[in-house]
């Protein structure tokens, strides 16, 4: 069994640990998103997580780098596909930003929607990989989280924990906003 590593590489990736706190710095009145919008955004992100997982499986199968830990496959990954993979990751962020823009009416709602969808997308990316190919076998498995501008490497527990905490933070902030709205209407 792998041992637990608390830090990701490069060092600045560890700043992502602060992401779940971001919703608490957004002005309350600016992040109210209806439950229906949160549900639809979550469904989009869950489906998108499957698409991302499928792309990773197809790429690794096509290059003969599967099965095996993703972090060890990076060195053997063809340069041309690595470049395409970076563009795909950038396109993923653009799509999440685009849907966030359409979901919210102001910067606070858009930021909340982006974090909400990113959390579900990332969480379900790993769920779909586990259900389809049996990876990760453990929360201690090492993964490549992102490639831009350089590979981000951490154990699977880190993005899962950040995604869960971020989703909970958005839910708490948005549901608190709805309670404040209901109280002021009475």
77: three-class secondary structure by DSSP: coil
Query: How many helices (H) and strands (E) in the chain?
Result: 5, 2
Domain extent at residue 127: 33-185
Least Cα distance to 99 among 84, 83, 120 occurs for 120
Whether residue 180 has pLDDT greater than 50: no
Question: Does residue 104 form part of some domain?
Answer: yes
* Residue 126: pLDDT band with limits 50, 70, 90: very high
pLDDT recorded at residue 179: 47
70 domain residue, yes or no: yes
Residue tagged 């990876």 (tokens) = 135
Per-residue pLDDT at 30: 72
In a domain, 1, yes or no: no
Count of domains observed in the chain: 1
Q: What is residue 124's three-state secondary structure?
A: helix
Average pLDDT of the chain to the nearest whole number: 85
> From CA 170, how far away is CA 148, in angstroms rounded?
26
Is residue 176 situated within a structural domain?
A: yes
Residue 1 pLDDT greater than 50, yes or no:
yes
Question: What's this model's pTM, rounded to 2 decimal places?
Answer: 0.86
> Cα–Cα distances in Å, from 157 out to 33, 65, 85, 163?
28, 23, 23, 10
C-alpha to C-alpha distance for 59 and 66, rounded to whole angstroms: 9
């Amino acid at each position: 069994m792998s041992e637990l590593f608390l830090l990701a590489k490069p060092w600045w990736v560890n700043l992502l640990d602060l992401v779940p706190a971001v919703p608490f710095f957004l002005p309350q009145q600016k992040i109210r998103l209806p439950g229906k919008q949160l549900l639809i955004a979550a469904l989009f992100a869950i489906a998108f997580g499957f698409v991302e997982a499928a792309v990773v499986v197809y790429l690794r199968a096509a290059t003969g780098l599967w099965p095996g830990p993703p972090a060890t496959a990076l060195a053997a990954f063809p340069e041309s596909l690595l470049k395409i993979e970076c563009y795909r990751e950038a396109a993923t962020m653009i799509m999440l930003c685009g849907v966030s823009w359409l979901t919210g009416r102001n910067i606070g709602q858009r930021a909340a929607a982006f974090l909400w969808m990113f959390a579900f997308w990332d969480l379900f990316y790993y769920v779909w990989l586990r259900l389809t190919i049996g990876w990760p076998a453990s929360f201690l498995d090492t993964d490549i989280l992102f490639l831009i501008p350089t590979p981000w490497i951490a154990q699977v527990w880190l993005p899962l924990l950040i995604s869960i905490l971020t989703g909970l933070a958005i839910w708490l902030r948005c549901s608190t906003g709805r309670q404040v709205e209901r109280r002021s209407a009475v």
